[in-house]
Structure 1
Amino acid sequence: MKKQHKNKWLNPLLAVIFVFGLGAAVLVFSSESDKINKEVKTEGDKALVINNERTEQENILDSLSALKTAYDLVIKENTALSKELELERKNVENLMEIIKVSQNPSADQIRIYRNQLSGLKSSLDSKVIEIKQLKSQNKNLLTEIESQNVVMYKQKAENDTLISKQVKLESTLKDASKLYLSNFKAIALREKNSGAELETTKAKNTKKLKISFTVNGNAVAKTGKRVFYVQVLDQKNTVLGDNKLIEFGNDKALVYSFIVSTDFQGKSLNAYGILNADGFKKGTYFINYFDKQDIMGSTSITLE
């Protein structure tokens, strides 16, 4: 009887323990499963973020490429803002290079790239607006000048002679007032016993170099005395002749061999200068022609 009574309570107790054990196992398994699912989801979210950031990186690069093309088109218009636009285009190219080498950029980096792209776009937009305004101002200025010319023509067009002079003036005003040089030439001279000078190509016979050029005519250029500077360099880039330094201001200077003065009256004229030296050596001599600090042309002569 005692054994039956003991078995009567033992079986239900074992059943309860089994149920609780099974529940605990399920609970533990469920907890581990949730943890694994969370970890998988987290890794997936990270991968999604990285993919999104890479996509953003590619989108920004595409936008920068399109922006660079836009800069190229505006620069081709060759306006007064071309230099500034070229610098900004360089900034676009630099940003593209930075983004290309960037590996897995963070969200903060992407935001910075976006802000820089936006700034470059805004800068181009403002420059385009400014160019349109300048074109409009230039057009208005030309219209105003044309209107003034019409008034001037009406005031001065008393006869065919005045009309002819006005037409000629319009044509000449298109030319720049700056003088231009041409026909650059240098010859070596030797002296005969009689004193006559003959051209030579031998260094040992050369006593001087005659360096000539032509001042082109220009009806609107300033007339009067005009000074040109000639620079003669030997094979060692040494300046021959006077070898004097002249400063023109704005930190610009020139070392010259001699000066050629002319009396310019609007028409073409030929001018030349003579370079005397103690002795000429074999080789090539280079001659540069200057109007103040601006080089106008060059030539050379080779002595055997």
Structure 2
Amino acid sequence: MKKHYKDSWIKALFAVVFVFGIGATYLIFSNEPEQMIEQSDDDRLEIMGSNYESVAQENILDSLNNLKLAYDVAIFEKTALSQELELQKRNIENLMEIIKASKNPSIQQIKIYRKQLSDLKTSLDEKVLEIKKLKSQNKNLLTEIETQNVVMYKQKAENDTLISKQQKLESTLKDASKLSLSNFKAIALREKSSGKELETEKAKNTKKLKISFSVNGNAVAKTGKRVYYVQVLDQKNTVLGENKLIEFDNDKALVYSFLVALDFQGKTANVYGVLNADESQFKKGTYFVNFFDKQEIMGSTSITLE
């Protein structure tokens, strides 16, 4: 009985020891692979660390170079923002030089570079939107300017037409208000002992030349005093009479024999002037008579003395 009890207790103790041994062995072997895996991951991260920063550095430089090209395209638009874009482009170039000079950048530096790259991209995006807005505004402005130019051209054409019509009207009124002369005559007169004057054709009997003309009526012409100049030329083309020189505002001049004044009142008026013989008598030949309104010749006539 005692022997049987002793054997049972030994068997129970052995079973406990066996179970505990198996559990301890499982724990040891199950824990060892986890430690090996953790150690392997740490080593892998440590090995990839330097390569990661290098690759990130190259990627940032490539992105900055592409961004620089994008800024060049935006600058090529030649808008009011070109100066700001040039400044941002220089910032990109400076950042690229800094990154290239950094041979072993830390993860923190990489984060800073990425932040600066992101800011530059954001700035470009904003500028591109603003450029599109400016181009749209410029297009609308050009359309408005073209419209205004068309309106101004039409207005100028209308003004030119009105000016041309006004000039023609003024010219027509000027021509209409201009006085015309007619009935140009020149006769030789002799005097009888009684003082009576008679017409003659003999040079030796001629004491004076009576020269007359008519000023035609004109209702639209300005009334008032008018002066006309008479020029009498002999056979030698010498101006007889007063032989005076008068100059006009347009640098023109006239030598006349005498002048005739008239108070014009819109109706036809007959006027005349007299050229007396000087110390020598009138000679045989033809005398030419010209009638002037200022420097403009209005008509002519002639008389021949025998």
Q: TM-score, normalised by structure 1?
A: 0.45
